Amino acid sequence: MEKMSAVKRAILCAACIALCYALPMAFHAFGAGSVFLPMHIPVFICGLTCGWPYGLLCGIAGPAISSALTNMPPVAMLPTMVVELAVYGVVSGILMQIVRTKRLYVDLYISLVVAILAGRVLAGMARALIFAAGSYSMAAWVSGYLVTSWPGTLIQLLFIPSLVYALMQARLIPQRYPKTKTGDRKV
């Protein structure tokens, strides 16, 4: 499989946007709820597999559509959420393009971890600017973005790279480092 066509990227992005709505519903149905941050996962996957422009769109449109359809997240929470998710999509996409260590999992983890950090920092800043200029303290950010979200972060770190790998195994996205004809395999 060569590089993905623009149409394919676009439609994969559409599927991820739809999952931004469907996954939280599924998680909700069995009580896992929002502690696992289900809406974040499709955005990371979209950024990592389709590239930053699609990651950006998924980060904006995913929460926005969900919000328009169910008011979850409530429209009032939307701006900071959009900032956070859009940064995830963009940063993970750009890093996947730049970082090429010849090892898939190393590339994935670098992109993912930097994206997670960047998203949370920028969202904290956005929240401070929008809701409470000057008063939004470090402690509130730490509590909101690091402490209460650790189960979700854990899921993201454990699960997202192996999911990308599974998508490659299933030949749904191209191999990042295709094995050469001589048979030596690089993962």
Partner 1 sequence: MGSIAGKQITFAYGYDDAPTLNGVDISVKPGQLVAILGRNGCGKSTLVRHFNALLALQEGELSVAGIDVRDEAELWRLRRTVGMVFQNPDNQFVSSLVGEDVAFGLENYQVPRSEIPGKVSAALEMVGLAGFEERSPHLLSGGQKQRAALAGVLALEPEILVLDEATAMLDPVGRREILAAAMDLRMRGTTVIMITHIVEEAIPADLVFLMNEGKMIAAGTPEEVLTVPELLEQAGLAPPLPVRLYHDLRTAGIALEHCPLTAEALAEELCRLK
Partner 2 sequence: MSFEIKSLSYVYQRGTPLETPALENVSFSIGDGEFVGIMGHTGCGKSTLLHLMAGLLPAPAGTVLIDGEDINRKGYDRSVLRRKLGVLFQFPESQLFESTVEKDVAFGLKHSGLSTKDIEQRVQWAIETVGLDYSRVKGQSPLGLSGGEKRRAAIAGVLAVQPRHLILDEPTVGLDPMGREALLELLVKLNRDGMTILMVSHDADSLGEAARRLLVLHQGHLAADGPIGQVFADMDAMADWGLGVSQSREAAGLLARKGLEVPQDITSYRQLLPAVLTALKGGGSP
Partner 3 sequence: MNSQLTGQYIPGTSIMHRMDARAKFSGFLLLIAAVILTGTIKGYLLTISFILIIAALSKLPPEIATGSVRRMLPFFFVVFLLNVLFFESETPLWQWGIVTISIDGIAQGANILLRIVLILILSNVLTLTTPPMALMAAIESLMSPLRFIGVPVGDVSMILSVAVQFIPTLLRETDDIRTAQTARGAQFESGKLLDRAKALPPLLTPIFLSAFKRADELAVAMEARGYRGGKHRTKKASQPMPVSGWLALLLCAALCALQIFLF
Sole binder of partner 3 in the list 18, 110, 122, 125 (CB under 8 A): 18
CB 52 within 8 A of CB 93: yes
108/184 Cα distance (integer angstroms): 21
Is residue 1 a contact point for partner 1 (CB under 8 A)?
A: yes
Sole binder of partner 3 in the list 100, 137, 146, 157 (CB under 8 A): 137
Which listed option, partner 2, partner 1, partner 3, none, makes contact with residue 29 (CB within 5 to 8 Å by class)? partner 3
- Residues 147-176 binding partner 1 (CB under 8 A) are 171, 175
Q: Which two tokens mark 163?
A: 């999911």
Is residue 70 a contact point for partner 2 (CB under 8 A)?
A: no
Is residue 185 a contact point for partner 1 (CB under 8 A)?
A: no
* Residue position matching structure tokens 């509590």: 143
Sole binder of partner 1 in the list 33, 74, 151, 178 (CB under 8 A): 178
Interacting residues of 60 by C-beta distance below 8 A, sequence separation 6+: 82, 85, 86
Q: Where is 123: in which H helix or E strand? A: helix 104-131
